[in-house]
Amino acid sequence: VPISYWIGKSVRSAFEKMARLEDLCQTRKGMVTADNSRYVRFWYELDISKCGLHNHTRESAKLSGRKWFPYSKGGEFRKWYGNRLYVVDWENDGYKIQNGRHPTENRVWATNFNLDYIFKPNVNWGGIVSNEFSARISFGGELFDAMGSAGFPKDISLKHIIGFLNSNSCSLFLKTLNPTLGLQAGNISDLPLTNSIDNRVTDVVDNSIELAKLD
């Protein structure tokens, strides 16, 4: 349990009265391939015709016959959109990764497949925070890595979630929950969040995402 003697009444009240982010947005830790040198590449290293860039379900990805698919790995500080550099070998619904055996133990080597969530729209973030937390939106079509954990909204919009996660309030809440450099998935789940939506916030988020995409 974190001890944050320095927080004020308004911060305490937020934790006491608001819903937890997990109640509105499921957070999931991403996949561990256990052998990135074999399964992960930068997209620009490959023949683009072998990359499946527009698949939003496991079924369509498998039927595409492509080998490499976008892979969110967290990356450096960047808000709203971006860090889309990696692809992962998910040919034939990830057959090789899902069945590759550990070299010395009788078990599958890779972990955390989260198959019910891959390729779905999400908000994602990195696990290491050197200065300030940052979250990015994915409109779908990606798998995600353990260092690029993701949130999947239930009955609330992606833009509401990312607007909150990139706010000053969220930064303060995260420092309350975990002042260290390494964020845990549970820290994000425990953030206090209101489900009321302000159209002015949505307008700011839309503009910020578009600017990040242009950049």
DSSP-assigned letter for residue 46:
S
pLDDT, residue 149, reads: 87
Contact 59, 178 (CB under 8 A): no
DSSP-assigned letter for residue 101:
B
pLDDT, residue 83, reads: 94
Cα torsion angle, 126, 128, 130, 131, sign: positive
pLDDT, residue 180, reads: 64
Task: Give the CA dihedral 71, 34, 113, 138, nearest 10 degrees.
Answer: -20
Other beta carbons less than 10 A from residue 165's beta carbon: 27
Q: How much is the pTM?
A: 0.88
Contacts of 80 (CB under 8 A, 6+ apart): 135, 136, 137, 162, 166, 205, 208, 209, 211, 212
Residue 27 gets the label, from left (phi > 0), alpha (psi -120 to 50) or beta, of beta
pLDDT, residue 138, reads: 96
Q: What would the two tokens of residue 39 be?
A: 């399964």
pLDDT in tens, the chain (215 residues): 455 555 678 887 887 888 899 999 999 989 999 999 999 999 999 999 999 999 999 999 999 999 999 999 988 899 999 999 999 999 999 999 999 999 899 999 999 999 999 999 999 998 766 668 899 999 999 999 988 889 999 988 999 999 999 999 998 888 888 766 566 656 888 999 988 777 888 899 999 999 999 99
